[in-house]
Amino acid sequence: MNEHMSRAKRSDGHGGNLDATVFATSRRLALKSRRRVWKMAALAAVFSMFALYLAWLEAYDAEPHHNDESPLGEAIAQATSVAGGVPGPGPDLVKRGEYLARAGDCIACHTSDKGRPFAGGLAIDTPFGTIYTPNITPDPDTGIGRWTDADFMRAMHEGIGKEGERLYPAFPYVEYTKVTDQDVQAIRAYLNTVVPVHYTPPSNKLRFPFNQRWLMVFWNMFNFDEGRFVPDPKQSAEWNRGAYLVEGLAHCEECHTPRNFTQGLKTSERFSGAIQSGWHAYNITPHKTSGIGNWSDQDVIGYLSTGVVHGRANAAGPMADVVSDSTQYLNREDLRSIATYLRSLKAIDRGESRMRADWGSPASDVVAMRGMRVSGVNGAQLFLANCASCHHWTGEGVGASAPGAYPSLIHNSVVGASDANNLAMVILHGVRRTTQDVDVLMPAFEGDLSDEQIAAVANYVTTQFGNPRARVSVEEVSRLRGVPQ
């Protein structure tokens, strides 16, 4: 009997271990099965979202875009032509297309060598790597000579290339999607007449996974709404014309609106200013101190047509290029429409206590420094040696309000800004602005002055003639010097 009891205890103990092992194994299998179900569910959800997006695209593309036929309606009877002409074949269409290409500033991004306009190759640096702009001359092998009108239309409106590849938003299709079919066709007609250039730009240099173009599907879901401009019937024809230009062809938001973490536009802060290639594209909302709320319509028109508003601003950097290549060619009606639309934007306060052009007083350092021994790095001495011959030792400029005048540093929006970025960039890279009235040139000092010297000059200028709280460090000048232009 004792033997049977002992045998039973051994059997019970062995059976308990077996049950625990079976339970643990079953639990592991259940957990694995549960994880597998969750993974499958997650993949199915992602696939479903992707399928729904593709289905939406197909459905959307299948619908007629009635807005294309009359994008500005009664508000702008001639909005199919920003220039105001009548659509038609031949020279008139080409001329209209040239005007529209100017309004869109196509030449700026698609030209790296001025001897090869529209041949592409311009390097655009992004947080994800470098993108090189394509050749858009009618060369059949390296340009868009073999593109159909439908191919060109799809690129402009949907951000999709000839072979179905997703285009990167360095090409502003986010704004160009608003441009009417007729205007896109006119631009295409003009580009067909430019000199074909046989040139293949370098390949993009983007880090993985940003070099995977198909991922743009997801970027577009968050940052892109495809569709033509629809006029606001509550607004005037002039306002609608300005909105069509600013929001679409002129793509002003690309520089003047901050970016979100995906590098899409931060729509909650439209036109409130952003940094582009080291330059500060200023706030152009109608805020009285942070923006251009105290600018008159004539100030806006004058700035866009000449790059100068005396006592306020002088275009430099990328904005000087915009004036030279684009806005100086717009007719007065379109410039006034732009001013009207900008004045209607939501005013955004960036915290400035005074307008950028509301700072400064003349200097008298030249008297105090006469006979002084030059020692170390002194901003005032460097200013007198390098800047005073054009801007005068008082900082009041030379030439008064003549078209080719050397601008005053007093009541100057760059000198009175809350940061000294643009001032340092102007000293580093100079200014080149060519308009129908005058050719403006300021030499670059990047090869003549050290980072320490440029910082000293910039800080002297802001302290004496502008916003004394705007300072730039030697390290910041060094960083700005290295930003590709």
The answer on pLDDT for 5 being more than 80 is no
Where is the domain boundary, 222, 251, 280?
251
| Each residue's pLDDT tens digit, 379-392 | 999 999 999 999 99
* Pick from 276, 280, 260: nearest CA to 418: 280
Burial code of 342-362, b = ≥16 C-beta within 10 A, e = fewer?
Answer: bbebebbeeebeebbbbbbee
Note the pLDDT of residue 376.
85
Distance CA 179, CA 244 (A): 8
- Burial zone of 14 (CB within 10 Å; 0-12 exposed, 13-18 middle, 19+ buried): exposed
Q: How far is CA 56 from the centre of its chain?
A: 28
* Pick from 315, 304, 311: nearest CA to 422: 315
In a shared domain, residues 78 and 219 = yes
Query: Which residues are 126's β-sheet partners?
Result: 129
Backbone phi, psi, residue 232, to 5°: -95, 110
In a shared domain, residues 245 and 369 = no
Note the pLDDT of residue 50.
47
Note the pLDDT of residue 372.
76
Mean pLDDT of 462-476: 96
Note the pLDDT of residue 30.
53
Chain-wide mean pLDDT for the chain?
Answer: 86
Coil, helix or strand for 387? coil
Does residue 160 form part of some domain?
Answer: yes
Burial code of 403-413, b = ≥16 C-beta within 10 A, e = fewer?
Answer: eebbbbbbbbb
| Each residue's pLDDT tens digit, 131-152 | 999 999 999 999 999 999 999 9
Does residue 422 form part of some domain?
Answer: yes
Where is the domain boundary, 225, 251, 277?
251
Does residue 298 form part of some domain?
Answer: no
pLDDT band at 370; cut points 50, 70, 90: confident
The answer on pLDDT for 264 being more than 90 is yes
**Least confidently predicted of 19-23, 184-188, 302-306, 457-461:** 19-23
Note the pLDDT of residue 44.
46
In a shared domain, residues 233 and 371 = no
Report how many domains make up the chain: 2
| Each residue's pLDDT tens digit, 284-340 | 999 999 999 999 999 999 999 999 999 999 999 999 999 999 999 999 999 999 999
Q: Domain containing 400 — which CATH number?
A: 1.10.760.10
Cβ-based neighbours of 108, under 8 Å, separated by 6 or more: 321, 322, 325, 326
- What distance separates the 2 farthest-apart alpha carbons in the chain? 124
Does residue 268 form part of some domain?
Answer: no
The answer on pLDDT for 43 being more than 50 is no
| Each residue's pLDDT tens digit, 21-40 | 544 555 555 555 555 545 54
- Helix 317-325 to helix 421-429 angle (10° resolution) is 70
Distance CA 171, CA 133 (A): 8
| Each residue's pLDDT tens digit, 266-279 | 999 999 999 999 99
Does residue 91 form part of some domain?
Answer: yes
The answer on pLDDT for 197 being more than 90 is yes
Distance CA 5, CA 337 (A): 103
Note the pLDDT of residue 254.
96
Helix, strand, coil percentages for the chain (3-state, nearest 5): 45, 5, 45
Percent of the chain topping pLDDT 70: 82
Task: Give the position of tokens 């970027």.
Answer: 219
* Pick from 100, 140, 136: nearest CA to 121: 136
Where is the domain boundary, 251, 267, 295?
251
Mean pLDDT of 219-231: 96
Does residue 143 form part of some domain?
Answer: yes
In a shared domain, residues 245 and 377 = no
| Each residue's pLDDT tens digit, 44-66 | 454 445 444 444 444 444 333 33
Domain span holding position 92 = 67-251
Coil, helix or strand for 124? strand
Angle at the Cα of 163 from the Cα atoms of 59 and 56, rounded to 5 degrees: 15
